[in-house]
Amino acid sequence: MRRIKHVSVLLGMLMMFAMPLKADASGEAKGLFVIVTSGEAQTQMMAMMLSSKTIEQKKSVQVLLCGPAGELALKNSEQVMFKPLDKSPQMLLKNLISKGVVVEVCPLFLPNSEATKADLVDGVTVAKPPVVAKKLREEGIKLLTY
């Protein structure tokens, strides 16, 4: 009996995650909420490339940088250039910001690093957990994590 309960709970959870994302009136998702935690430059680049392509497709994007990925938001962070674009993840991040994308660092990033708000790339702010939680619950927003 106990095993059946566990299986039922597991199946319920799987069904919840398998449910389609609610979309806008056209049947498409409204946008992405991209959370990047990886400090690995190639992973960051892919997150920024997909975010850029999403903006080109006229969908919303919001980016949250946490942990090692927070370094991407620092003015003096190391830049790794990638071919064939000959751009760095930070260059793409700045381009996203110029297009109105909200880019934030986790509220734990600055107090637990040697950086300050003054060290952040122009346009990057510190996330407010209640605002992030609300955005994550918004209909039509897909969550991507890197």
> pLDDT for 96-113, tens place per residue?
999 999 999 999 999 999
Say what percent of the chain tops pLDDT 70.
82
Lowest mean pLDDT among 8-17, 92-101, 117-126, 136-145: 8-17
Q: Say yes or no to pLDDT of 14 above 50.
A: no
DSSP structure string for 10-54: HHHHHHHHHSPPP--TTSS--EEEEEE----HHHHHHHHHHHHHH
DSSP, res 101: -
User: May I ask the CATH class of domain 21-145?
Assistant: alpha beta
Give this prediction's pTM.
Answer: 0.81
Q: Say yes or no to pLDDT of 138 above 70.
A: yes
Pick the more confident residue, 5 or 89: 89
In the chain, where the domains are located: 21-145
